[in-house]
């Protein structure tokens, strides 16, 4: 199985890279965040970043640090031969990177300037979790980047440290970013 894990800062372009892999290279794009949002809704909990962090840590403690990768692989394996590969976003714990590596995959880290990323998120406001001030956005990101708690909690800095491929998305030209990302991944 060809496998990429996607990680990076919020609003950096992870979904853009995942969609590019799906559209141009026939990868199945699975969002770990969407899996967690569905679980929060199923439990009747608000779909907020803190709730998603709590559920993900709970699952990692119960089923192993790579549980979200394993859930995505199960979706991929449910339709054998349909896709040429799997891309999973958004890795937020080093154990997820380790699991991708165990499966022979690579992890992509996507980043951009904080203000640029905030403006992107604010303009799309998919859910209530996106309705934050710039200061709240930065505080939440700092909490996710710095590890606190046990090994099952978020540790974005740890993910970044062991990622394989780094993509910068500083501009406003989405097509240029897609082309540059495709070239950097060298899948043709």
Residue 130 lies in a domain: yes
Residue 153 lies in a domain: yes
Listing DSSP states for 114-177 in one string gives HHHHHHHHHHH--SGGG---HHHHHHHHHHHHS--SSTTS--HHHHHHT-SEEEE--SS-HHHH
66 lies in which domain range? 2-176
Could you tell me how far CA 42 lies from the centroid of its own chain?
A: 21
Residue 182 lies in a domain: no
Let me know if 182 is exposed, middle or buried by CB neighbors in 10 A (0-12, 13-18, 19+): middle
Residue 187 lies in a domain: no
pLDDT at 127: 55
pLDDT at 128: 56
Q: How many helices (H) and strands (E) does the chain have?
A: 9, 5
Residue 125 lies in a domain: yes
Listing DSSP states for 53-80 in one string gives HHHHHHHHHHH-TTHHHHHHHHHHHTST
Tens of pLDDT, residue by residue over 85-111, are 999 999 999 999 999 999 999 999 999
Tens of pLDDT, residue by residue over 57-85, are 999 999 999 999 999 999 999 999 999 99
Q: Show the CA angle centred on residue 41, arms to residues 36 and 45, nearest 5°.
A: 95
Q: How confident is the model at residue 143 (pLDDT cuts 50, 70, 90)?
A: confident
- According to DSSP, the β-strands at 2-8 and 85-89 are parallel
Residue 8 lies in a domain: yes
Residue 151 lies in a domain: yes
Q: The pTM is what? A: 0.91
Q: How confident is the model at residue 121 (pLDDT cuts 50, 70, 90)?
A: confident
Give mean pLDDT, residues 23-47.
Answer: 96
Q: What are phi and psi of 64, to 5 degrees?
A: 105, 155
Which range of 15-19, 47-51, 122-126 scores highest in mean pLDDT? It is 15-19
CA distances from 57 to 23, 148, 166 (A): 31, 12, 26
Count CA atoms within 13 Å of residue 66 on its CB side.
13
Of 36, 32, 11, 6, the closest CA to residue 137 belongs to 11
Give mean pLDDT, residues 134-142.
Answer: 90
CATH of the domain at 129: 3.40.50.300
Q: What are phi and psi of 38, to 5 degrees?
A: -65, -40
Of 14, 66, 13, 27, the closest CA to residue 174 belongs to 13
How many domains does the structure of the chain reveal?
Answer: 1
Residue 188 lies in a domain: no
């Amino acid at each position: 199985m060809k496998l990429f894990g996607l990680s990076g800062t919020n609003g950096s372009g992870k979904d853009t890279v995942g969609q590019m892999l799906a559209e141009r290279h026939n990868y199945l794009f699975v969002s770990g965040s969407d899996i967690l949002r569905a679980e929060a809704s199923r439990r009747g909990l608000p779909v907020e970043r803190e709730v998603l962090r709590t559920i993900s840590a709970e699952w990692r403690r119960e089923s192993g640090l790579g549980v979200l990768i394993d859930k995505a692989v199960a979706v991929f394996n449910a339709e054998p031969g349909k896709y040429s590969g799997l891309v999973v976003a958004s890795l937020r714990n080093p154990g997820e990177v380790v699991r991708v590596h165990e499966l022979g995959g690579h992890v992509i880290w996507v980043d951009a300037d904080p203000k640029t990323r905030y403006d992107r998120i604010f303009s799309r406001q998919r859910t209530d979790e996106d309705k934050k001030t710039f200061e709240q956005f930065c505080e939440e990101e700092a909490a996710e980047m710095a590890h606190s708690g046990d090994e099952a909690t978020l540790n974005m800095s740890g993910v970044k440290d062991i990622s394989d491929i780094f993509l910068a998305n500083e501009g406003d030209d989405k097509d240029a970013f897609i082309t540059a990302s495709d070239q950097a991944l060298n899948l043709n």
